[in-house]
């Protein structure tokens, strides 16, 4: 079944097609939810709620992006809403814009990096994951979170600074 056929069948509430769409994308979506929420249970709740929204809103998908990209926006928004604590949105002070961050010469340990990301405060983690892991642009993140582009940049700066500190501690 092609992706277009799959989408058409899902719009007709064909349960087998819905399961097929879920099977194709659940891994990527669950991972994104986990990275944003920093918690498997919260990620699972976000995934379920997000997929329900995907199936409810599928008629609004216009094919301007891939279905995967469209679904990820829906599910990531759901995951962000699931973060119970309000993330702090601090705008980057101008003098911080010139600060330099050094990731070091040696390869970063992936397991440590994963743990460090999970330790980040919710707001920092959300912006860091959306931009550095999921590949969204500051403008897109600002739209998703309802913040300014400047705030998104400052959140990313603090996230990376914290991350670097955590990673140094692991080493």
Partner 1 sequence: MKEKNYDRLRAALDRLPEYDPPARSWPEIERGLEREGESVREPLSSRLPTYVPPTAVWNAVNEGLDAQKRVVRRRLPRRLLAAAAAVALLLFAAVGISRWTSGPRVTYAYSQESQPDPVTSDWDDDEASFQRARAEVRQRDEPILNNLGHELDELNSAREEVKAMLVAYGESPAVIQQLAEIERERDDVYRRIIVEL
Provide CB contacts within 8 A for 165, sequence distance 6+: none
Cα separation, 122 vs 71, whole angstroms: 22
- Identify the residue among 16, 19, 137, 168 touching partner 1 (CB under 8 A): 19
Closest approach of partner 1 to the CB of residue 117, in Å: 8
Cα separation, 23 vs 29, whole angstroms: 11
Q: Measuring CA to CA, which residue among 33, 18, 34 is closest to residue 67?
A: 18
For residues 150 and 92, the answer to whether their CB atoms sit within 8 Å is yes
Q: Which of residues 3 and 109 has its CB atom nearest to partner 1 in the complex?
A: 109
For residues 148 and 120, the answer to whether their CB atoms sit within 8 Å is no
- Identify the residue among 15, 88, 137, 168 touching partner 1 (CB under 8 A): 15
55 binds partner 1 (CB under 8 A): yes
Closest approach of partner 1 to the CB of residue 64, in Å: 25
Q: Which of residues 70 and 134 has its CB atom nearest to partner 1 in the complex?
A: 134
Cα separation, 157 vs 146, whole angstroms: 18
- Identify the residue among 62, 94, 95, 102 touching partner 1 (CB under 8 A): 102
For residues 6 and 25, the answer to whether their CB atoms sit within 8 Å is no
Mask for 77-96, x = binds partner 1 (CB under 8 A):
---------------x---x
Residues that bind partner 1 (CB under 8 A): 13, 15, 18-19, 22, 26-31, 34-35, 40, 43-44, 47-48, 51-52, 55-56, 92, 96-110, 113-114, 132-133, 153, 157, 160
């Amino acid at each position: 079944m092609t992706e277009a056929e799959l989408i058409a069948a899902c719009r007709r509430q064909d349960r087998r097609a819905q399961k097929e769409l879920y099977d194709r994308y659940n891994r990527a979506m669950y991972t994104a939810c986990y990275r944003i929420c920093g918690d498997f249970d919260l990620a699972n709740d976000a995934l379920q709620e997000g997929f329900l929204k995907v199936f409810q809103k599928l008629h609004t998908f216009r094919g301007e992006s891939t279905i995967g990209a469209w679904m990820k926006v829906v599910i990531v928004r759901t995951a962000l809403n699931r973060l119970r604590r309000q993330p702090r949105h601090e705008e980057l002070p101008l003098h911080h814009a010139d600060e330099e961050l050094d990731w070091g010469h040696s390869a970063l340990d992936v397991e440590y990096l994963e743990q460090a990301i999970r330790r980040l405060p919710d707001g920092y983690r959300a912006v860091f994951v959306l931009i550095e892991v999921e590949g969204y642009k500051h403008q897109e993140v600002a739209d998703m979170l309802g913040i300014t582009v400047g705030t998104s940049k400052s959140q990313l700066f603090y996230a990376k600074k914290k991350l670097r500190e955590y990673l140094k501690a692991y080493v």
